[in-house]
Every structure is written in structure tokens, then in C-alpha cells.
């Protein structure tokens, strides 16, 4: 249901994860002052206004796709709260894996360059994790409310 608060939390988590596909997660500079970007699909170099793919890494892309699909699945299954809570836990694992992959790729790539810094989008999965935890708490509240009403009958 769209009017439930956990839906808004999950939509906010989807937006946080989707922004990771659009904005670079890290910036690097080499000795020749060339600029490199760490995107969801690998490392890209900016040469004369053109973006050249230096290497591909589909791990973050696949994990982002799985996490976004899982959040949409949680929203669609609004009538089955137990399945929603279980799916939220799987979403936590996917988001944790995304954050770990971003940091791992960043720290493995950084020694090859003179300067490297993380962008704000590198930490958006943590914000998505917070939103998914808030959604889980509200799904649990709904489930507890339905169970308490069933006890009154």
C-alpha cells in the first residue's frame, strides 16, 4: 500500500540506491593529473571530454540491481508481512555487500593513484540501510497490531 509509512521508507531506500548508478562514488587523480571516476560499473577516465572505461566491475551493479529489486518486491508484497520482514533482512545483507564492495574496490584502487577521495554517494547505501531498518520496524508494528487484534476476537 502506498499510504503506509514503510512504503515511503522503502522508496527512499530505492532512491538512495538508484543515485549510486548515476553519480561517481570516488574520484582519483594520477601523476599526469588525469581524472578517474569510480562508477557502479567500474573505473572510468575522463579524456578530452569523453569517458573511457578503464576496467569493468559488475559486482556493484549486480548488487545494486538485486537490492533495488528486493525493495520493490517488499513494497509489492504488502499483504504478507512475515515475507516482508524476511525480505527486509535479505535487503540488509545486499546493502551491506554493496557498501563492502564499494569500500573494497576503493581501497584496492587508491594505491595506484596520487590522490583519491570518496564521494557522498559512496555512503548512500548506509542511508538506504537506515531507511530499510525503519521500514522493518514499521512492518513489525503492523504485524504486532494485527496479531493483537486477532487475540481480542
88-105 tens-digit pLDDT:
999 999 999 999 999 998
Report residue 2's pLDDT band, with 50, 70 and 90 as the boundaries.
Answer: low
Highest CATH level, class, for 5-152: mainly alpha
- pLDDT bin (cut points 50, 70, 90) of residue 12 is very high
pLDDT the model gives residue 147: 80
Inter-residue contact 25 to 6 (CB < 8 Å) = no
User: H/E/C letters for each residue in the chain?
Assistant: CCCCHHHHHHHHHHHHHHHCCCCCCEEEECCCCCEEEEECCEEEEEECCEEEEEEECCHHHHHHHHHHHHHHHHHHCCCCHHHHHHHHHHHHHHHHHHHHHHHHHHHHHHHHCCEEEECHHHHHHHHHHHHHHHHHHHHHHHHHHHHHHHHHC
pLDDT at 67 over 70: yes
* pLDDT higher than 80, residue 130: yes
Least confident of 16-20, 31-35, 51-55: 51-55
Amino acid at each position: 500500500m502506498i499510504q503506509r509509512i514503510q512504503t515511503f521508507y522503502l522508496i527512499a531506500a530505492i532512491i538512495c540506491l538508484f543515485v549510486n548508478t548515476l553519480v561517481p562514488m570516488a574520484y582519483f587523480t594520477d601523476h599526469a593529473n588525469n581524472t578517474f571516476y569510480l562508477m557502479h560499473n567500474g573505473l572510468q577516465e575522463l579524456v578530452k571530454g569523453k569517458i573511457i572505461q578503464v576496467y569493468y566491475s559488475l559486482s556493484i551493479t549486480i548488487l545494486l540491481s538485486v537490492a533495488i529489486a528486493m525493495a520493490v518486491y517488499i513494497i509489492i508484497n504488502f499483504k504478507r508481512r512475515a515475507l516482508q520482514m524476511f525480505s527486509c533482512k535479505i535487503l540488509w545483507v545486499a546493502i551491506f555487500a554493496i557498501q563492502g564492495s564499494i569500500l573494497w574496490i576503493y581501497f584496492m584502487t587508491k594505491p595506484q593513484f596520487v590522490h583519491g577521495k570518496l564521494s557522498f554517494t559512496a555512503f548512500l547505501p548506509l542511508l538506504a540501510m537506515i531507511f530499510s531498518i525503519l521500514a522493518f520496524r514499521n512492518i513489525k508494528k503492523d504485524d504486532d497490531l494485527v496479531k493483537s487484534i486477532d487475540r481480542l476476537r
